[in-house]
Amino acid sequence: MEKGRTYTISWDNIGDIDSVKIQLNDLLNQASHWVSQGPDHVINNTGTYRYTVPATLPDSAFALQIMTPDGRYNNKSNRFYISRSDTDLFLKGSPVKRIHNEKVGNRNRYIETEIWLENKGTRKLNTVKVAWQVVKEPIGNCVAQGEEIFTDILPDTWYKKKLSLNYYHVGFSGTNHKWGKLQEGERYVLKFKADPGNTLGELDLVLDNNTYQIEALTPETYYDP
């Protein structure tokens, strides 16, 4: 949820309960805030309630709690986040494929994968940058890098882009190991990062889903298409 925006809170109206109270629990700071406005914060049990998120709330993880006026019965929502922006990016990649391409006088090997990006927030994002690197491990040496641009990202929708990288070429001029050969114990790893620099203002608590890495090549698979 985003500060300053108005949302509709909804719940199942079950049983003969005429009125309820709604509370917002700050799970990280161990604090509570009343959502429902009325005498003693009691409202009619209509099943919905409009709520404007105060701009003064801290960036944190929250849960909503709906209860009877006497507190005897209550129900809690799942954990969610409130911040300046409700952007929540989720990034992953498909398993790496090794592609072998041969023409007269030329032999090429590629790795191919798909970068998958989801916007779990509530607003359309015009542009999201995903940076990628090929890193030789365990020494941590970056041998190739670039970026892919995703545009018009709607909420709750997966988007994908194909990434194809040439790492080996044999031609009339000789053999080119573009990233260098792999020795025993070494491997190439593809690393992705969505929105480097956090220009979209994503909450720190959910930034762990902005990175992804996958093994691309080992000494055993380097020459095997």
pLDDT tens for each residue of 28-81: 889 999 999 989 999 999 999 999 999 898 888 899 999 999 988 899 998 888
Lowest mean pLDDT among 10-19, 25-34, 128-137, 199-208: 199-208
Lowest-pLDDT range of 83-87, 209-213, 217-221: 83-87
The model's confidence at residue 16, banded by pLDDT at 50, 70 and 90, is confident
Task: Give the lowest-confidence range in 9-13, 40-44, 114-118.
Answer: 9-13
- Scanning the structure block, which residue is given the tokens 């709607």? 154
Domains of the chain, start order: 6-82 (2.60.40), 89-217 (2.60.40.10)
Mean pLDDT of the chain: 89
> How distant, in Å, are the alpha carbons of 70, 82, 144, 149, 189 from that of 223?
70, 49, 19, 31, 16
Please answer whether residues 117 and 91 qualify as being in contact, where contact means their C-beta atoms are separated by less than 8 angstroms. yes
Percent of the chain at pLDDT > 70 equals 96
pLDDT confidence of residue 148? 97
**pLDDT, position 155:** 86
pTM for the predicted model, two decimal places: 0.68
**String of DSSP letters for 76-124:** EPPPEEEBS----EEEEEPPPEEEEEEETTEEEEEEEEEEEEEE-SSS-
Distance CA 131, CA 197 (A): 11
Q: Does pLDDT of 158 surpass 90? A: yes
- Average pLDDT on 88-116 reads 90
pLDDT tens-place string over residues 160-214: 999 999 999 887 677 788 999 999 999 999 999 999 988 887 777 667 889 999 9
Q: What pLDDT is attached to residue 151?
A: 96
Q: How far apart are CA 203 and CA 81, in angstroms?
A: 8
Q: How far, CA to CA in Å, does 214 sit from each of 31, 38, 193, 220? A: 40, 53, 12, 16
What pLDDT does 2 receive?
A: 80
Contact 85, 43 (CB under 8 A): no
CB–CB of 201/88 below 8 Å? no
- Distance, C-alpha 6 to centroid of its chain: 24
C-alpha dihedral, 135 to 141 to 146 to 149, nearest 10°: 50
Q: What is the pLDDT of residue 224?
A: 60
Closest CA to 61 of 34, 76, 36, 83: 83
Q: How confident is the model at residue 85, as a pLDDT?
A: 66
